[in-house]
Structure 1
Amino acid sequence: MTHQVMYPGSNAMDTPAPADSVPVITTGLAQIHDTARPVSTSAPNLWDRIAIACRARHFSLSTERSYVHWAKRLAAWHGRVHPAKLGADDVQAFLNHLAVEKRCAPSTCKQALCALQFLYRHVLGSDLPWLNDLARPRGQPRLPVVLSVREVQAVLAHTSGTPRLILALLYGSGMRMMEALRLRVKDLDLERRTITVREGKGGKDRTTMVPESLVQPLHDVLQHRRRLHDIDRARGMADVELPHAMEAKSPRAGQQWPWQFVFCSPDYATCPRTGAIRRHHLHEVNVQRAMRRAVQLAGIQKRATVHTLRHSFATHLLEAGYDIRTVQELLGHSDVSTTMVYTHVLNRGSHAALSPLDRLSA
């Protein structure tokens, strides 16, 4: 069964136009479709130009969609006026609207500001002085949510199948969700018990551990994945997405076994950027739903997400006595100060000293 992704006609915002001549702009994030459509050979509209600028800088698809989303929100809030016709007061009024009326979090306001700065500087070519004068929201640092060992056991007990294996792998290796979903066969070394993470956050590579308890389940997944690959080859559908210009250098590499995704989708899907129909990696919503349901069934009152398992991985390693430099390398942090945040949620240390009342009771 093949799932086709349908994309409606694009909004033709290329050059400034009168407000009444600009098509209706959809503002919901789920309705952003222009960035997911392959760029045509005709003159690109504003949304395609944002997508092209993002891809030229190797931004992720989520960042690309987010930048288009905020550009559309800006134009829609000003009555479908082309962003090139807006000035500093108009942009600042929109940002104030997000912070005051919509009560968006500081991180959301920062994201909108970065998207609009990118729009004016790199898409519209208007590196105006007022871009640097826009008020930047200031948020307070937040401690990460961490599950206890018992809570992690409860979460995993309420999941099954491939989602459970992925959640267990995230907790056992400290990988991010998309790093696990994009894991390829060649980067999973079960003999050496290592995983090579390619182009993680910040475009960095690193290695992390394979939990001993997951070696056999991962081996079974690879066997099942190999059977699917043989079926795809027989159908002529074994091609897989390759990074950068690898497809031009080695046209047949995408059909080879080492390049296949370990956790693949059960059906074929349309690539959101190229339009090619192929077997992609498992969609992240499957893992997110499994995690959300498991947290509810386990009766956990914390705001735990899939990324919480990565926080729990780091915290539990520090609790077990591993030095912070080891944890830093496993997480892929460039600066140890980023890893230091997990020392604030330990059961010992300067911020978790024994209470004088407990000492008195003892």
Structure 2
Amino acid sequence: MENKPKFIPDPQLQLMDQVLETLRYYHYARSTEKTYCQWILQYIYFFNKERHPKDMGEREVEAFLSHLASVKNVAATTQRQALNALVFLYRDVLHLPLDQSIAPVRAKRKRHPPTVLTEEEVQNVLAQMKGTHLLMAKLIYGSGIRLMECIRLRIQDLDFGQGKLFIRGGKGRKDRVTFLPRSIQGELRQHVERVKELHRRDLAEGFGEVYLPNALAKKYRKAGWKTPWQYVFPSKTRSVDPRSGKERRHHVLESGLQKAVKAAVKKNGIDKRATVHTLRHSFATHILENGTNIRVLQELLGHADVKTTEIYTHVMRRDIDGVKSPLDRLYNQ
């Protein structure tokens, strides 16, 4: 089987325009576009724009990544993100793949126990929310999905019959299945009916096509107009897609839910650094406390390594409940 020819960006373009052209050819997320471009620019400026990246290589990449770790003191995940951006630059834009033996000074991996809310605190936070934001928050806490996984859900990802939620192209571009909480299926069905009606109005006005990932738009040319592909949480207004120039209804922005959760936490006087992602952490911790096998939780969360899942065992209440502080024993408390 022959390998498909690699995409070659327009040689007449400036480097960063070539980067953007390649990112969009391979359908990278907008957030990834922004992040990769920022790291590539930092790499270029690190060497004072004196040389083009094509005239540099492994040695310069190692120097840049080492600087991030030893001088900038960035986290290990940040250093990995920078490396991924440069691997993309050399492999897919310049077609000068880096040697896999790159060995920069490694940033120290700091593992902090996740912030977790008690079940009562979760209930209080949800009580301060309303509308679509409340439904989204319930879905994240009830199924353990990530913020962007929630926002990018399509109608066809909801299986009410089996009570399942299908996550397609999650972190690491992996698919998985989690459960659809029974307690919100009724209101979620009603919400989907409203979304379908919104889609029917868009169609009547000559719109209604939704963005499709990767090569699906070419393979299924009419799918973007179909109801199953519509976002579960669409934006209230249509907007022009900067890539295609088409006026479409995209999904809601993540910032809306982030602000709503932050406001609800503040109203409850909860002195924890709780965010939308804290709902996912709380889901994981509470489900472990209820006796779920850690391997099952690993699958539900979509973790590649069970070690990532094991961090929740450090914040389980049952691990320390019943163990008395020596000070309390001293004073018979």
Instruction: Give CA deviations for 1:34-79 in whole Å, capped at 9, x if unaligned.
Output: xxxxx99783332233334445666433223211111112223444
**Contact conserved, 1:113 with 1:136, CA < 8 A, in 2?**
no
Aligned match for 1:63, one of 19, 32, 41:
32
TM-superposed deviation, 1:313: 0.4
Distance 1:258 1:87, change over 3 A: closer
Instruction: Point out where structure 2 has 5 or more consecutive residues left out of the alignment.
Output: 1-7
Whole-angstrom distance in 1 between the partners of 2:203 and 2:312: 46
Aligned match for 2:178, one of 196, 208, 231:
208
What pairs with 1:189-228 in structure 2 (closer than 5 Å)?
Answer: 189-228=159-198
Whole-angstrom distance in 1 between the partners of 2:221 and 2:286: 44
Which one-letter code corresponds to 2:170 in the other structure? G
Whole-angstrom distance in 1 between the partners of 2:150 and 2:72: 34
User: Match for residue 109 of structure 2?
Assistant: 139
TM-score, length basis structure 2: 0.85
Distance 1:253 1:117, change over 3 A: closer
TM-score, length basis structure 1: 0.78
User: Match for residue 330 of structure 1?
Assistant: 300
Whole-angstrom distance in 2 between the partners of 1:44 and 1:293: 45
Tell me the SS of whatever aligns to 1:195.
strand
Whole-angstrom distance in 2 between the partners of 1:61 and 1:288: 18
User: Match for residue 254 of structure 1?
Assistant: 224
Whole-angstrom distance in 2 between the partners of 1:321 and 1:133: 41
Which one-letter code corresponds to 2:268 in the other structure? A
Tell me the SS of whatever aligns to 1:348.
helix
**Contact conserved, 2:66 with 2:106, CA < 8 A, in 1?**
no
Whole-angstrom distance in 1 between the partners of 2:10 and 2:63: 36
User: Match for residue 239 of structure 1?
Assistant: 209
| 2:79 pairs with 1:109 | yes
Aligned match for 1:173, one of 123, 143, 146:
143
Tell me the SS of whatever aligns to 1:207.
strand
Calculate the aligned-residue CA RMSD, in Å.
2.9
**Contact conserved, 2:262 with 2:275, CA < 8 A, in 1?**
yes
101-110 or 178-187, larger mean C-alpha shift: 101-110
TM-superposed deviation, 1:257: 1.0
Distance 1:236 1:322, change over 3 A: same
| 2:273 pairs with 1:303 | yes
What pairs with 1:310-325 in structure 2 (closer than 5 Å)?
Answer: 310-325=280-295
Tell me the SS of whatever aligns to 2:270.
coil
Distance 1:232 1:127, change over 3 A: closer
Which one-letter code corresponds to 1:45 in the other structure? Q
User: Match for residue 46 of structure 1?
Assistant: 15
303-312 or 42-51, larger mean C-alpha shift: 42-51
Which one-letter code corresponds to 2:39 in the other structure? W
What pairs with 1:64-79 in structure 2 (closer than 5 Å)?
Answer: 64-79=33-48
Q: Percent identity?
A: 44
**Contact conserved, 1:169 with 1:211, CA < 8 A, in 2?**
yes
Instruction: Point out where structure 1 has 5 or more consecutive residues left out of the alignment.
Output: 1-38
Whole-angstrom distance in 1 between the partners of 2:182 and 2:239: 33
- Aligned pair count? 323
Whole-angstrom distance in 2 between the partners of 1:334 and 1:89: 30
| 2:90 pairs with 1:120 | yes
Distance 1:249 1:120, change over 3 A: closer
Instruction: Give CA deviations for 1:138-186 in whole Å, capped at 9, x if unaligned.
Output: 2232222211112212221222221111011100011111111111111
Whole-angstrom distance in 1 between the partners of 2:91 and 2:223: 37
TM-superposed deviation, 1:280: 0.7
Whole-angstrom distance in 1 between the partners of 2:129 and 2:11: 48
Tell me the SS of whatever aligns to 2:318.
coil
